[in-house]
Structure 1
Amino acid sequence: MQIRLTLLFFISLIMLMGADTKHLARNEAFSHGEELTFKVKYLFFNAAEAKMVTSPEIQQINNRPAYKIDVYGKTLSIFKIFKVKDNWGTLLDTAKLIPHRSYRHIEEGNYRKHEIVDFDHMGKKANVRLFDRENRNVVETQSYEIPPNVQDMVSGFYQLRTMDLTRVKPGETINIKGFFDKEIYNLKLIYEGKEKVDTRIGSYETFKFSPIMPNNKLFSGDNPIKVWITDDKNKIPVKIKANLVVGALDMEITEARGLRNN
């Protein structure tokens, strides 16, 4: 159960890292056709795999061009007894970098959830549709008020990649606002400075962040989560580490394809 919960948290953490608008710049970090692969290790075991995939094809929604971005997560090897096979996605405006639609298809053991959220940014509404277990029929429809230019779970991270992180000072806090699971969420990230990180795909100078976490029984110590993002034009996440009550969990990039910048 702990692996299942921490895998879900790790995938969510990547997506929750949206951008503080005062640091936004033009998108020169990513484009269509990008694919990032990560392995999640718990103790000495490869526990899970996550992928972040930007479709090669530009989509059209609300008469606007959009990136179709999917994040996939699944458990591996002996941890398949805690079966997780999830897909979060967004249709992200290529120019404004705000979501027009987000969706979730969740398989966790016997649990299923299928959801589509359509964002009406002009009307400041998020229109949520929940589907049945087989993802065939709508079983619930609700609308919620949202702040201007709110992000979803996936789009927020990709907006972060457009930030001018060179302007962030060590100790500075970045505030994030997004819509998820029928609520407006707030997350704070503390910038801890730069650090060199060795990965399977190379060595990188990185920006290091520490999310401020609420008290819970899953993690151990002060600021138990650390996130490293490359200090280059691509700004990809290469490593995440969490100190747990029992052991530690590490997520590291294993493959990066279709990057916008060499």
Structure 2
Amino acid sequence: MIQLRFLLFLFLLPGIAQAQKTPEIPFTFGEELNFEVSYGWINLADAKMQISHAPQVHDEKPHYKIDVYGKTKGAAALFGKVNDNWGTHWNAESRLPKLSYRHIEEGRYRKHEKVFFDQENRKAEMQLFDRENRELKEVKEFDLPGQVQDLVSGFYYLRTLDLRTLKAGDYVTIKGFFDKEIYNIKLIFEGTERLKTELGEKDTFIFSPQIPKNKLFRGEFPVKVWVTQDQNKIPVKIKANLFLGSLNLDIISAKGLRYN
């Protein structure tokens, strides 16, 4: 299920740096977005993005606890069962993560990890746990090149930016910390499109991350992400063109949105 994991990774690319921040956060506690992942006519998995109903407190400041889940379903599990959880504790004031975590179950593979961010001193401490997520096995510290987003927080940071200032052909640079590495990826703004979704017709912004040549995807810009132009700025679709067919992630329901 490498394709599913990589698609979810692209779905959660760390945030963009150049557009201006909006004064209000476009989401709130209790928001839940549900998606279906498909390959052609085959429904591979379900994915969910969920904000807790109550804040988490770090350094006497409230943080959003945001979780993303990906789980194979039906016959797709026969080819490699996936049951993953990515999460972040995100400070609405600084718009930066304090804690990120991953609980990965893919076939027989297991990984349980926490990363604590000291954004002011440009440090990150990674804690690795055993297969059962009971015992701390390893601690590593990393230097950061500046303020960074994590795998989950980046997309929510993206939603706080004023995307209306971008013009087709503009690009923004992504900086984030994930899996011991700093990532800088160019994200191209392609323009707008009115898209039919399970939530009705939506006016959307379209982004394409520039991906290095590889054996999985077709073309220089094989992935497209559609984000609504309304005040909520939620993702409603991702499409990845593979060498054989395409992988799609489509929204099927949304609740707890800040704006109706």
Does the pair score TM above 0.5?
yes
Match of 2:67 in 1: 70
Query: What is the rounded CA distance, in whole Å, between the counterparts of 1:19 and 1:159 in structure 2?
Result: 8
Is 1:160 aligned to residue 180 of structure 2? no
Q: Is the 8 A contact 1:28 1:233 kept in 2?
A: no
Q: CA offsets per residue over residues 20-57 of structure 1, 9 Å max, x none?
A: 14432223311111000000110111111110000000
- Of residues 98, 101, 113, the one that matches 1:100 is 98
- Of residues 220, 227, 245, the one that matches 1:222 is 220
Pairing of 1:4-15 with structure 2 (within 5 A): 4-15=1-12
Is 1:117 aligned to residue 119 of structure 2? no
Match of 2:22 in 1: 25
Match of 1:135 in 2: 133
Number of aligned residue pairs = 259
Indicate the SS of the match to 1:16: coil
Q: CA offsets per residue over residues 117-175 of structure 1, 9 Å max, x none?
A: 00011221000000011111111101001133210000000000011011001000111
Query: What is the rounded CA distance, in whole Å, between the counterparts of 2:221 and 2:148 in structure 1?
Result: 26
2:238 maps to amino acid: I
Bigger Cα displacement from structure 2, 105-114 vs 54-63: 54-63
Is 1:42 aligned to residue 36 of structure 2? no
- Of residues 240, 254, 257, the one that matches 2:255 is 257
Query: What is the rounded CA distance, in whole Å, between the counterparts of 1:196 and 1:15 in structure 2?
Result: 22
Q: % of aligned pairs identical?
A: 52
Pairing of 1:202-221 with structure 2 (within 5 A): 202-221=200-219
- Of residues 217, 230, 243, the one that matches 1:232 is 230
Q: Is the 8 A contact 2:213 2:220 kept in 1?
A: no
Match of 1:149 in 2: 147
Shift of 1:6: 1.4
Shift of 1:88: 0.3
Query: What is the rounded CA distance, in whole Å, between the counterparts of 2:181 and 2:14 in structure 1?
Result: 16
2:2 maps to amino acid: L
Shift of 1:17: 4.3
Q: Is the 8 A contact 1:70 1:89 kept in 2?
A: yes
1:70 maps to amino acid: D
Q: CA offsets per residue over residues 202-233 of structure 1, 9 Å max, x none?
A: 11000011110111000112311111000010
Point out where structure 1 has 5 or more consecutive residues left out of the alignment.
none
1:231 maps to amino acid: Q
Query: What is the rounded CA distance, in whole Å, between the counterparts of 1:90 and 1:42 in structure 2?
Result: 28
1:55 maps to amino acid: S
Q: Is the 8 A contact 1:54 1:67 kept in 2?
A: yes
Indicate the SS of the match to 1:6: helix
Instruction: Give the ranges of 4+ consecutive aligned residues of structure 1 lying more than 6 Å apart after TM superposition.
Output: none
Query: What is the rounded CA distance, in whole Å, between the counterparts of 1:30 and 1:231 in structure 2?
Result: 14
2:152 maps to amino acid: V
Match of 1:51 in 2: 48
Instruction: Output the TM-score relative to the length of structure 1.
Output: 0.96
Q: Is the 8 A contact 2:209 2:221 kept in 1?
A: yes
